[in-house]
C-alpha cells in the first residue's frame, strides 16, 4: 500500500472527471457528490482522507445555541480532525442554515485541514473566504446550523450529496466538484490515473489534427498501438 504522500502526488494532476471514468470501469457509478462546488473559482485541485461529520434534521430540544458547548459538537469534532484531512459534512442538502462560519473555518485552517466539503451551506461568507480554508459547498446562508439542523456525530459513515462516504476514503475535489475514491480502490486508481490523463492528452492532440472520433475515443487496437509508439518517441 502506497503512503498518502505518494498517492496525493500521483493524483495531483488527475481530474475528478478522470476519476469517475476509472471508477465506472470498476463498477462504481455513484461517487460524485451532488451539491458541493468550489467557493473560489480559482480553487486548485485538493486531495485528502475523509473525516466525516453528520447532521440530522433540527429538533428543538437539541438544536440550540447551548449545544455548541456540548462534548458532541462541531467544535469538538474539529479538534479531532487529523492534519491533512478533508472534512466531509453531511448536511442533508439543507442550504438555508450555515453549518460553519468564519471562526470554525479559521480553526480548521489553523489545524492544517486540507478542505471542507459539504452538501450544505456556510455562513459569514466573506469571513470564510478570508480564512483561506478551501471550501466546496452548496451555497451560503446567514442563519446558524441550529436553525435547521442538529449535529450528531463524527468519524462514521455518512451520505454527502447522495454519495456514501466512509472514514478514510480518499476525497479529490476540483472545479467539477468532489469525488470519493473508496479506500480499497485508492492504490489502483492512483496508479492508473496518470496514465489515463496521458492517454486523453494524446487523444486531444489527435483531435486537434482533425482525426475523427470513432476508433480514436475510445481508442481501438490501431490507435492504441500508435499511442504506445508515441510514448517511446
Q: Do 145 and 218 fall into the same domain?
A: no
Judge whether residue 232 has pLDDT over 90: no
Q: Which range of residues forms the domain containing residue 218? A: 188-231
Residue 122 sits in a domain whose CATH number is 3.50.30.40
Q: Do 159 and 222 fall into the same domain?
A: no
Closest CA to 206 of 222, 217, 220: 217
In the structure, what pLDDT confidence band is assigned to residue 98 with cuts at 50, 70 and 90?
very high
- CB neighbours of 109 closer than 8 A, spacing ≥ 6? 131, 132, 133
For residue 227, being part of any structural domain is answered with yes
Domain count for the chain: 2
Contact 4, 49 (CB under 8 A): yes
For residue 106, being part of any structural domain is answered with yes
Q: Do 58 and 163 fall into the same domain?
A: yes
pLDDT of residue 1: 63
Q: Do 118 and 194 fall into the same domain?
A: no
Distinct helix (H) and strand (E) counts, the chain = 7, 12
For residue 6, being part of any structural domain is answered with no
Q: Do 92 and 55 fall into the same domain?
A: yes
What mean pLDDT is reported for the chain?
94
Last residue of a domain, one of 138, 164, 180: 180
Judge whether residue 38 has pLDDT over 90: yes
Q: Could you count the other beta carbons within 10 Å of the beta carbon of residue 2?
A: 13
Q: Do 217 and 121 fall into the same domain?
A: no
DSSP secondary structure, 43-108, as one string: PPPEEEEEEEEEEEE--TTTSSGGGGGSSSSHHHHHHHPPTT-EEEEE-TT--SSEEE-HHHHHHH
Q: Do 201 and 127 fall into the same domain?
A: no
For residue 120, being part of any structural domain is answered with yes
pLDDT of residue 50: 98
For residue 7, being part of any structural domain is answered with no
pTM of the model: 0.90
Separation CA 117–CA 122 (nearest Å): 10
Angle at alpha carbon of residue 144, lines to 59 and 53, rounded to 5°? 70
Q: Do 154 and 219 fall into the same domain?
A: no
Mean pLDDT of 36-40: 97
Amino acid at each position: 500500500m502506497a503512503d498518502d504522500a505518494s498517492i496525493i502526488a500521483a493524483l495531483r494532476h488527475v481530474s475528478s472527471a478522470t476519476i469517475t471514468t476509472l471508477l465506472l470501469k470498476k463498477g462504481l457509478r455513484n461517487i460524485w457528490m451532488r451539491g458541493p462546488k468550489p467557493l473560489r473559482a480559482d480553487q486548485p485541485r485538493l486531495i485528502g482522507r475523509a473525516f466525516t461529520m453528520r447532521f440530522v434534521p433540527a429538533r428543538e430540544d437539541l438544536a440550540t445555541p447551548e449545544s455548541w458547548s456540548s462534548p458532541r459538537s462541531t467544535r469538538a469534532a474539529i479538534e479531532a480532525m487529523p492534519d491533512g484531512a478533508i472534512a466531509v459534512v453531511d448536511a442533508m442538502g439543507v442550504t438555508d442554515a450555515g453549518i460553519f462560519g468564519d471562526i470554525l473555518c479559521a480553526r480548521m485552517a489553523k489545524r492544517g485541514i486540507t478542505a471542507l466539503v459539504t452538501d450544505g451551506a456556510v455562513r459569514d461568507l466573506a469571513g470564510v473566504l478570508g480564512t483561506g480554508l478551501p471550501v466546496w459547498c452548496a451555497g451560503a446562508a446567514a442563519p446558524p446550523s441550529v436553525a435547521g439542523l442538529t449535529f450528531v456525530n463524527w468519524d462514521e459513515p455518512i451520505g454527502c450529496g447522495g454519495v456514501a462516504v466512509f472514514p478514510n476514503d480518499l476525497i479529490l475535489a476540483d472545479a467539477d466538484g468532489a469525488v470519493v475514491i473508496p479506500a480499497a480502490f485508492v492504490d489502483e486508481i492512483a496508479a492508473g490515473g496518470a496514465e489515463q490523463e496521458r492517454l486523453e492528452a494524446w487523444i486531444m492532440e489527435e483531435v486537434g489534427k482533425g482525426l475523427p472520433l470513432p476508433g480514436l475515443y475510445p481508442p481501438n487496437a490501431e490507435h492504441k498501438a500508435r499511442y504506445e509508439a508515441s510514448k517511446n518517441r
